């Protein structure tokens, strides 16, 4: 993997602060494990209330953590004062999502001024330490100007 240089020397603090404001990650019980330039890891412990009808972790929860990992990987490389939004992704589910801890790793594949392409993988870590690959994502993340509180959002979308 290519080594990337962040354009914001405080990228890690910015990513961690932004993650702390994300209500969905808090609701899911996800934690930010690691932040490096162009790479972010998010973990989610198994919870019965996040399962689908067969007892597997719901695809929505899996997709949420890997989408966030990709988005924060992109955020780690953009200049201060710029935000990111996911504009497209594709997920392949490779195995039933059963296990005790889900780990999403997002990585920048191709950074850009406006669009950044990322890949993400979700593995299940069992209590014995074994990992099993359960999902993979390809995502396009867009750099956007910060949203100003009290002002209407952009009509560009």
Q: In this structure, is residue 3 part of a structural domain?
A: no
Q: In this structure, is residue 6 part of a structural domain?
A: no
Q: In this structure, is residue 95 part of a structural domain?
A: yes
Q: In this structure, is residue 36 part of a structural domain?
A: yes
- Residue 90 tokens read as 């594709």
- Burial class, 96, CB count within 10 angstroms (exposed 0-12 / middle 13-18 / buried 19+): middle
CB 103 within 8 A of CB 93: no
Residues 70, 83: Cα–Cα separation, whole Å: 13
For the domain that residue 119 is a member of, what is the CATH number?
3.10.129.10
Q: In this structure, is residue 69 part of a structural domain?
A: yes
pLDDT number for residue 26 = 97
Q: In this structure, is residue 151 part of a structural domain?
A: no
Residues 144, 61: Cα–Cα separation, whole Å: 25
CB 45 within 8 A of CB 101: yes
The residue range of the domain holding 57 is 11-144
Domain total of the chain: 1
Q: What are the beta bridge partners of residue 51?
A: 57
DSSP conformational letter for 126: -
Q: In this structure, is residue 112 part of a structural domain?
A: yes
- Name the nearest CA neighbour of 76 among 12, 156, 126: 12
Does the global pTM surpass 0.85? yes
Per-residue pLDDT tens, the chain, 157 aa: give them.
568 999 999 999 999 999 999 999 999 999 999 999 999 999 999 999 999 999 999 999 999 999 999 999 999 999 999 999 999 999 999 999 999 999 999 999 999 999 999 999 999 987 777 899 999 999 999 999 887 776 655 544 3
Q: In this structure, is residue 103 part of a structural domain?
A: yes
Q: How many Cβ atoms from other residues are within 10 Å of residue 154's Cβ?
A: 9
């Amino acid at each position: 993997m290519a080594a990337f240089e962040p354009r914001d020397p405080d990228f890690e603090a910015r990513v961690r602060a932004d993650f702390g404001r994300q209500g969905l990650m808090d609701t899911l019980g996800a934690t930010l494990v690691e932040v490096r330039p162009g790479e972010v890891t998010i973990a989610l412990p198994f919870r019965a209330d996040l399962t689908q009808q067969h007892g597997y972790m719901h695809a929505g929860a899996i997709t949420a953590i890997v989408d966030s990992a990709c988005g924060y990987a992109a955020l780690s490389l953009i200049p201060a004062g710029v935000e990111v939004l996911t504009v497209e992704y594709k997920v392949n589910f490779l195995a039933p999502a059963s296990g005790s801890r889900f780990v999403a790793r997002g990585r920048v594949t191709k950074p850009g001024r406006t669009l950044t392409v990322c890949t993400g993988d979700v593995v299940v870590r069992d209590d014995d330490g074994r990992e099993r690959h359960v999902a993979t994502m390809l995502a396009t993340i867009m750099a956007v100007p910060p949203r100003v509180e009290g002002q209407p959002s952009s009509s560009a979308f």
